[in-house]
Copies of this chain bind each other. A is one copy, B any other.
C-alpha cells in the first residue's frame, strides 16, 4: 500500500533531530493492542524546567494511550493511518530495512502481524522483547510518575511513596490474556520466574461462553452486580453452616469455585449471568493472587505489583487480589497496583526507541504537575500527570522534550 506523506506530518515530525524522537509504539497482545503515541502540542516550542521557568526550545506535547481488540487489528491500523501516526517512527540507515520507517512494537502480535502491518501501513516493526518492555515500562512508571502505585484495602486506594533506593527487587505480575510473573532486580535486570494460563483471556473467553456479554467491559460490569455465593461452594455449604476453624477456614471461604453447580438441578440458563461472572472473576483473581504470593515468597520479594489490562481499575478485581495475597501470606504481604496498569509493554516499547535502561530517572517532586523530568534521547523529558488517570483512553501524560 502506498502511503502518502500528509501535510500534517511536518507538525509531528518537524526536523531531522526531532524525527529521532519516538512517536508511536505498539504492544500487540493476544487479546488487545495497546497503542502509545506522542502528539506535539500547538504552540510547542517552550519548555518547563524544575523551577517552572521557560528554557531552551523543546518539543512539547502529550503521550496518548489507546487500545483495540487484537481481533479488530484492521480498525487499529485504520486509526493509526487516520492520525498519520505510522509516519512518526524513525528511519534506520540499514540496507536490509530498505529505509522504511521503523515502529517500535512488542508482544506476540509484533511477530504475527508484522507482514500485515507492513502491507497496510508501509512500515516495518522494530520488535522489542515483551518482558523487557514490561519491565522497562514498570520501572519507568514506578520511578518517574508521582502517585503511580497504590494498595487497595476495604475499598480504599492508598498511594505509596516508593523509595527509589529500595525499589528492587520486586515481583511484577502482568495479567494480560495469560499471566507473566517477573522478578525485577533493576533496570534491564529481570527474570520471568512463573506465570499462569488462567488470566484475562480465561475470564473473557469463559465469560463469553457462559454469559451473553459482548465485551470484556460489559462482563466486568456485570460481575459487579453478581453474588458469587450462588454458584461457589462455601466451606459452610459443606459443613452445614459451620466453619472449619482448625485449619483457618471460615464458613464463607470458598471451598470449591463453581462447586454448587454440581448438585443443583440447574442448567446454565437457570443462573443469573451476573452471578456467573462474579464467581469467574473471583476464581481467577484469587488464583492469580495466590500463585503470585507463592512466587514472591519463593524469592523473598517484599513487593508485588499487579498490572495488565485484566484489572481495568475494577474494584472487585483489586479487592479479590488484595484479599488473596493477604489471606495466603497471613497478612505479611500486600498487593500493589499501578494506575497505568495496561500500558506497561507499550510504554516500554516507546521508551526503547533510544535507551532500554532508565537508570538516570529522577523524579522532580518540587514540580508536582511535572512528575518526571528526565534526560531521554539526549533531551529532557517531562511528564505531566493528570489527576484522572483511570480512563485509559484519555490523555495521561503531558510530555515535553527539551534540549
Contact = CB atoms under 8 A, between A and B. Distances in A.
Contact of A31 (B201, B263, B283): B263
A148 to B, nearest CB: 25
A197 to B, nearest CB: 4
Contacts of A209: 210, 258, 261, 267-268, 271, 276
Contact of A112 (B31, B238, B294): B238
Contact of A202 (B208, B258, B328): B258
A357 interface: no
Interface string A184-200: 00000000101011111
Contacts of A240: 108-109, 111-114
Given A178-B255, A238-B108, A287-B287, A262 B297 contact: no
B177 A259 contact: yes
Interface residues of A, number: 73
A201 to B, nearest CB: 3
Nearest to A232: B197
A30 B108 contact: no
Contacts of A71: 262-263
A279 to B, nearest CB: 9
Interface stretch (A49-57, A241-249, A333-341): A241-249
A345 interface: no
A47 interface: no
A103 to B, nearest CB: 17
A22 to B, nearest CB: 23
A70 B263 CA distance: 8
A290 interface: yes
A173 interface: no
Interface string A251-294: 00011111111110001100100001000000100110011001
A31 B268 contact: no
A-B CB proximity, top 10 nearest: A112-B240, A201-B259, A201-B256, A108-B238, A205-B261, A205-B258, A71-B263, A177-B256, A108-B239, A294-B294
